[in-house]
Amino acid sequence: MARPRKSAEDKRDRWDALYVTAPQRAEIAAAARAAGQSVSQYLLAAHEGIARRPMHDRAGLLQAVVQAEKHLAVLAQSITANTAPIDAVMLQANLLAIERGFRLAVLPWAVAIDGTQEGRPSC
């Protein structure tokens, strides 16, 4: 059985030549490989503003999950060990640390909570 034909809006055609220098071409190709994409997919993702983080970078994500698990275990122990109510400020600080750990692992390019770009001072 033959594969069904693509609809007109799903068909892709060669568009135009892209003029780049040899170093630019090598840099773009390397970035696309690191992102686990073809050069076309990489350039389209860049145009559409889609994240270009390497897909195979699981170590950072696993580390964030392990750190969150540790933070949550400490919080659970402090809640069960104390007879007094848990301090709301301490709880909020710990939960923010977990959230920021995930943000750094998953969205390192994202805007920080205070409106600055991660790693860059606000202007």
Question: Do 100 and 86 share a structural domain?
Answer: yes
Question: Do 78 and 48 share a structural domain?
Answer: no
pLDDT of 109 reads 59
pLDDT digits (tens, 9 = 90+) for 20-59: 999 999 999 988 888 778 888 888 888 887 765 555 567 7
* Burial track 30-59 (b if 16+ CB lie within 10 A, e otherwise): ebbeebebeeeebeeeeeeeeebbeeeeee
Residue 102 structural domain: 58-106
Assigned domain for 22 exists: yes
Structure tokens belonging to residue 94: 């710990």
3-state SS, residue 31: helix
Whether 117 has a pLDDT exceeding 70, the answer reads: no
Provide the domain count of the chain.
2
HSE, CB side, 13 Å, CA atoms: give it for residue 22: 0
Assigned domain for 111 exists: no
pLDDT of 21 reads 93
d(CA 82, CA 94): 16
